Amino acid sequence: MNQARPRIVIVGAGFGGLWAAQHLADAEADVFLIDRNNYHSFLPLLYQVAAAEIEPGQIAYPVRAILRKLRNVEFVMAEVTGVDVQRQIVTLSDGELAYDYLILALGSRTHYFGVAGAAEYAFPLKTMAHAIILRNHILRCFELAIHEQDAEKRRQLLTFAIVGGGPTGVEYAGALSELIKRPLARDYPGIELDEVSVLLIEGTDRLLGALPDKLGDYTLERLQKMGVEVLLNTFVSGVSAETVQFSDGTTLATNTVVWTAGVQGETFAEKWELPMGPGGRVLVQSTCQVDGLERVYAIGDMMYLEQDDEPLPMLAPVATQQGTFVAQNIMRQLRGEAVMSFRYKDRGAMATIGRNAAVANISSRAFTGYFAWLVWLAIHLMNLIGFRNRLIVLINWAWNYLFYERVARFIFDATIDSDKTLG
Amino acid sequence: MNQARPRIVIVGAGFGGLWAAQHLADAEADVFLIDRNNYHSFLPLLYQVAAAEIEPGQIAYPVRAILRKLRNVEFVMAEVTGVDVQRQIVTLSDGELAYDYLILALGSRTHYFGVAGAAEYAFPLKTMAHAIILRNHILRCFELAIHEQDAEKRRQLLTFAIVGGGPTGVEYAGALSELIKRPLARDYPGIELDEVSVLLIEGTDRLLGALPDKLGDYTLERLQKMGVEVLLNTFVSGVSAETVQFSDGTTLATNTVVWTAGVQGETFAEKWELPMGPGGRVLVQSTCQVDGLERVYAIGDMMYLEQDDEPLPMLAPVATQQGTFVAQNIMRQLRGEAVMSFRYKDRGAMATIGRNAAVANISSRAFTGYFAWLVWLAIHLMNLIGFRNRLIVLINWAWNYLFYERVARFIFDATIDSDKTLG
């Protein structure tokens, strides 16, 4: 390795890190992209994996396949265990990597707000593994319920509580309701639909709080029509393997609490002695440089930056725009130029509710219904990486739509192993 | 449940069990199909999952989706822990199920012939979980090798030994060689192809012993041309995490030993006091009834039956033909008629080696090369269950063929969990 060339290390191959790597392809530098997984996940469709609509591989893309064209970027599959900004070193589970410039793009994790039992018993939905585990669990609940004679236990197995009325909660509630209403109803003729409940629990008085009221109202009405029981102004105070407790003292029997109510920056940043902002996020300047550090950037969900007195949202477009932006800032530094300030271009936000129904807020105009749904489909399909993934997701969506089906109803569990479980 | 109707219990939703269930759709009986997985696996393409060619969901089909049309068949997702032929009961991990007629279709498991360390360290390739674990392992070996400085350790990580020169061993050796030669070579430009070895180890003096000599010779030549090192007349005497030992006393350093050398009937049959034949298989009469039991049938890999002085092979067509046949025999018993004898119609056998290369023995005529390969593709595509699976497998095959690619290069491991591993 040419020691004269500066080394840029990027931690995380999500939207922020991957976009940064791609925009450093022309930099006079050696770039190292680190991730614990060998694939990039298209997280906006993660809830569809958890609802058996599509398969994991369809929203994943091998990082190395993306980097093949970039001659100066090397992939390192590893766990990052620490960052030492004094020595300019990233420590990995099996070694360390020195950097001249560092881009932290580790994303966010579920925030349980200290609710008792939530971290132990609730199902998060932030990673591919979470989605697979949740899908397997939902299908197992039905397999257990159909042979359960005790009506109460049966109802408990068939009660699905989703905590958090933001986009992920709304999208998963809609998707789960559609999975149950037709495909699972046909798979389990012995289960009556009125034994099954899908609940969406939100602490404030409306859904999709980040979007205009009109869209939240539409979403509420639509979900209710789909049979989702929406509880507004309702706080969860505890979760156990068999219940969810509310702050008003009532309790609901359920084996499934899905937690989409909060995200926070990866909490280890504190351990690494980086300046912390609200929500466990790393404080950055308008240049995306970490406060007090010239050569360390933080982008995406893990950084805290205000724009027009509002913190930037934890959304994919913020991460991709910042990834592209910090690549340019580092190239400016390499050329001895001054760094610039980031400005987020908000192109809007959207969420899908179900068949023919979505909400979108684009250029301050609010859309609902069929049109918004088509726009949602088109945008998500276009943004998937890889033509083949787009084609196969499209086939699966068409199949699901035309036949009221959910094609990926598999309990794939590598712990089910015929050589080990029998005999 | 109508107690007057007889109960037929089928254990195993593989080729044998599933075909039996489908042919009992018109029986005046309640049919229960038990499997530990909620999906049927198309095992002839399992090696392609292990070689990152296709995704698990593409060779899986939800059992309940198949049974939806069959009103008298109920699916039970459970582990079978025992069979009591005196009380006519199948015991499950969480209950028991009485039967009037029983069809045992549990398939086979890997046979290690008592080779030291093989059961602990070798990778079997008999179930979906095996295929996923093996694919993840192969990709991890490359991720570890590229950052390994020690040349010996590096070579050890990049040496892949496949034991067994039957169809599975041949197909996996070819598939692995093609995975490495183009897609992984492009993913890992820092690894030279001459650091990588794929070995196929066979105890006899030829490959594909069940097929005509001409086909084994062609296969040997073809695999050698593809860079696979074929060791004939070579016996493995031991396996460890870092070596494979041969009976001549030599040792090879490798982290990967894939074991395809033997299959045996599910060994628990002995525990259940069923009459045992060679290879751990249950002895059946020509009617497929278990020796000495009128109402218990065993079919497919798990039964031992000779035809024309040769034991029936452990192949999918035997299982499907017997599944269909025993359904008819049970319906004869239900009508008070005499049971009939099974006769296997051997329509041939085939194996694919790689791009444009397969061998086939159809109606005693031997085919090799491009034609055999096309026939292999067509037959396997047609036999997949579900139009959508066929379409998506076809797209993936076309993609892999046209772009010399392997599209499913994912290390999906539900134990990699961002909420638990970091912080």
Of A65, A107, A391, the CB nearest to B395: A391
Same domain (yes/no): A214, A297: no
More confidently predicted of A264 and B369: B369
For B265, the closest chain A residue by CA position comes to A423
pLDDT on residue A420: 31
Same domain (yes/no): A366, A232: yes
Residue A227, domain member (yes or no) = yes
Q: How many Cβ atoms from other residues are within 10 Å of residue A298's Cβ?
A: 32
Helix axes A167-179, A213-225, angle to 10 degrees: 20
Give the three-state DSSP class for A209. Answer: coil
Q: Cβ–Cβ of A57/B418 closer than 8 Å?
A: no
Q: Cβ–Cβ of A423/B267 closer than 8 Å?
A: yes
pLDDT digits (tens, 9 = 90+) for B261-308: 988 877 677 788 899 999 889 999 999 999 999 999 999 999 999 999
What's the total number of domains in chain B?
2
Which chain B positions have a beta carbon within 8 Å of A38's beta carbon?
Answer: 139, 143, 409-411
Chain A stretch 8-47, residues whose beta carbon is closer than 8 A to a beta carbon of chain B: 36-39
Q: Cβ–Cβ of A38/B80 closer than 8 Å?
A: no
Mutation to test the A interface, candidates B61, B66, B392, B415, most A Cβ within 10 Å: B392
pLDDT at B2 over 60: no
Of A5, A92, A1, A10, the residue nearest A298 (C-alpha):
A10
Same domain (yes/no): B257, B267: no
**pLDDT (average), residues B42-68:** 96
- The fraction of chain A above a pLDDT of 90, given in percent, is 90
Residue A384, domain member (yes or no) = yes
Of A162, A115, A167, the residue nearest A134 (C-alpha):
A162
pLDDT at B415 over 80: no
**pLDDT (average), residues A287-314:** 96
Residue B47, domain member (yes or no) = no
Same domain (yes/no): A88, A137: no
Which chain B positions have a beta carbon within 8 Å of A415's beta carbon?
Answer: 129
Same domain (yes/no): A155, A284: no
Q: Cβ–Cβ of A68/B188 closer than 8 Å?
A: no
Same domain (yes/no): B181, B270: no
pLDDT on residue A1: 47
Same domain (yes/no): B239, B370: yes
Which chain A positions have a beta carbon within 8 Å of B57's beta carbon?
Answer: 55, 57, 407-408, 410, 412
Instruction: For B253-316, give the DSSP string.
Output: E-SEEEE-S-EEE-THHHHTTPPB-GGGPEEB-TTSBBTT-SSEEE-GGGEE-EETTEEPPS-H
Residue B421, domain member (yes or no) = no
pLDDT on residue B419: 39
Q: Cβ–Cβ of B55/A55 closer than 8 Å?
A: yes
Q: Cβ–Cβ of B407/A388 closer than 8 Å?
A: yes
Residue B71, domain member (yes or no) = no
Would you call A128 an interface residue with chain B, using a CB distance cutoff of 8 Å? yes
Would you call A390 an interface residue with chain B, using a CB distance cutoff of 8 Å? no
Chain A stretch 244-273, residues whose beta carbon is closer than 8 A to a beta carbon of chain B: 266-268, 271
Residue B317, domain member (yes or no) = yes
Q: Cβ–Cβ of A267/B423 closer than 8 Å?
A: yes
Of B37, B77, B392, the CB nearest to A395: B392
Same domain (yes/no): B159, B275: no
List phi, psi (to 5°) of A7: -110, 125
Find the DSSP H helices in B366-408.
Answer: 369-383, 387-403
Question: What CATH number should be reported for the domain holding residue B357?
Answer: 3.50.50.100
Residue A210, domain member (yes or no) = yes
**C-alpha B302 chain-centroid distance:** 13
Same domain (yes/no): A375, A315: no
Domain stop point among A310, A334, A358 = A334
Sheet holding B7-11, edge to edge: B73-77, B30-35, B7-11, B101-104, B296-298
Tokens representing B332 are: 């004869």
Residue type for B214, please?
A: K
Beta pairing partners, B77:
B35
pLDDT on residue A3: 56
Q: How far is B16 from chain A (nearest CA, A)?
A: 17
Residue A364, domain member (yes or no) = yes
Question: What CATH number should be reported for the domain holding residue A14?
Answer: 3.50.50.60
Q: Which domain holds residue B238?
A: 118-261+348-403
Would you call B404 an interface residue with chain A, using a CB distance cutoff of 8 Å? no
**pLDDT (average), residues B185-194:** 95
Same domain (yes/no): A167, A278: no
Same domain (yes/no): B124, B86: no
Same domain (yes/no): B281, B311: yes
pLDDT digits (tens, 9 = 90+) for A79-138: 999 999 999 999 998 899 999 999 999 999 999 999 999 999 999 999 999 999 999 999
